[in-house]
Structure 1
Amino acid sequence: MSFTDCIKQVHRLFSCLVAIKLHGHFNHTAIAQQEKAMSTPAHQDAISLLEADHREAEDLFAQYEKAKDAEKTEEKFEIARKVCAALLIHMQVEETIFYPAARAALDEEGDDLLNEAEVEHNGAKDLIKQLGETKPDDPMFDAKVKVLSEQIEHHVDEEENELFPKLKKTDLDLDSLGDEMAQAKEDLKEQLKAWRYSGS
């Protein structure tokens, strides 16, 4: 499933749950504040940009656990929505820009790591799709978020401790690649906001 199809489907499913299961109340102010916090810094090299994304996801999963423990259904739902969107954007940027550049820089040395990373992405996307189809007050919603967080934790560990160190030893221009990735992230965020508020 393409990024466009995936994010539209997740957005549509999550929007239906907001309207039906949360009585139509949706905190646009909170979402706008979250989107502002997601803004990409002016310049980061490619690895620093991805590591910042990883820290953001870790923080969001931690926030989710706190909201879950406090039984704040709407708050945890909004956090889940944000982390799903952030992960989809992150994965799209990796798959279309970072991974191809990494494959070219590492040749066959990086094939196993990068193949595994793409398989892990597919698993995460499937869980995100399942979340969009699950009621936020269903115990399985919490279970799916937990499994997603564990999958992402494993994925991050492999990237940061195996893939990134290998890339730092190559001639790959991480600065210019970071600029390209940052622009792609901003473009995808604008697409996401347009779909969210258009109700498409």
Structure 2
Amino acid sequence: MTTAKQKDACDLLDADHKAVKKMFGEFEELTEARGNTREKKRALAEKICRELTVHTRIEEEIFYPGIRNAIRDELMMSEAEVEHESAKQLIAQIQAMEPGDAHYDAKVMVLGEYVDHHVKEERNEMFPKARATKVDLVKMRDALQARKEELMAEYEEKAAA
């Protein structure tokens, strides 16, 4: 749900960024923990992949098209899309693996590094440029939230099936 802290689309997207960063931290702790952590890793990696998949979809479907022409920085927008493609490839690889497989932990950690880099660019470059435009980022926030809820519901339905 949208909160008072999420004043606009950039705030909503950044709340997702912070939530996923926390999950990556939890995953890293599990990689350092002793004992049987495979199921915890699997559950957390699945949650990270689901959150990132939904997040990239709402950015690609709503946020990027909504700001692309207004900010007039085609290279930055193209870089963001390429970064999304790289993340999607890693997500697919992670989802096809099991905890304990060679490189499973490394792939999740590298995904976290990719996401961290991408988030910094959005926070420091894209969001300030978006906020300097006449794009209605409050209205966009509501559209992003509605689409996010719709996609999460689809994931829940698939998981229950």
TM-score of the two chains, using structure 2 as the length reference: 0.94
How far does the alpha carbon of each residue in 1:84-104 deviate from its partner, in whole angstroms, 9 at most, with x for none? 000000000000000000113
2:33 counterpart of 1:70: yes
Contact 1:84-1:128 at 8 Å conserved across structures: yes
| Runs of 4+, deviation exceeding 2 Å | 40-44
Contact 1:91-1:121 at 8 Å conserved across structures: yes
2:64 counterpart of 1:99: yes
- Alpha-carbon distance in structure 1 between the residues aligned to 2:19 and 2:150: 19
Shift of 1:42: 5.0
2:114 counterpart of 1:173: no
- Alpha-carbon distance in structure 1 between the residues aligned to 2:114 and 2:98: 21
Contact 1:102-1:110 at 8 Å conserved across structures: no
Query: Which of residues 41, 45, 53 is equivalent to 2:16?
Result: 53
2:61 counterpart of 1:134: no
Contact 1:134-1:140 at 8 Å conserved across structures: no
2:55 counterpart of 1:90: yes
- Alpha-carbon distance in structure 1 between the residues aligned to 2:146 and 2:107: 31
Contact 1:110-1:163 at 8 Å conserved across structures: no
Query: Which of residues 35, 38, 41 is equivalent to 2:2?
Result: 41
How far does the alpha carbon of each residue in 1:63-86 deviate from its partner, in whole angstroms, 9 at most, with x for none? 101112114111111110000000
Could you say which residue in structure 1 is the equivalent of 2:121? Answer: 158
Could you say which residue in structure 1 is the equivalent of 2:112? Answer: 149
Shift of 1:185: 0.2
- Alpha-carbon distance in structure 1 between the residues aligned to 2:3 and 2:148: 12
- Alpha-carbon distance in structure 1 between the residues aligned to 2:109 and 2:119: 15
Sequence identity (%): 40
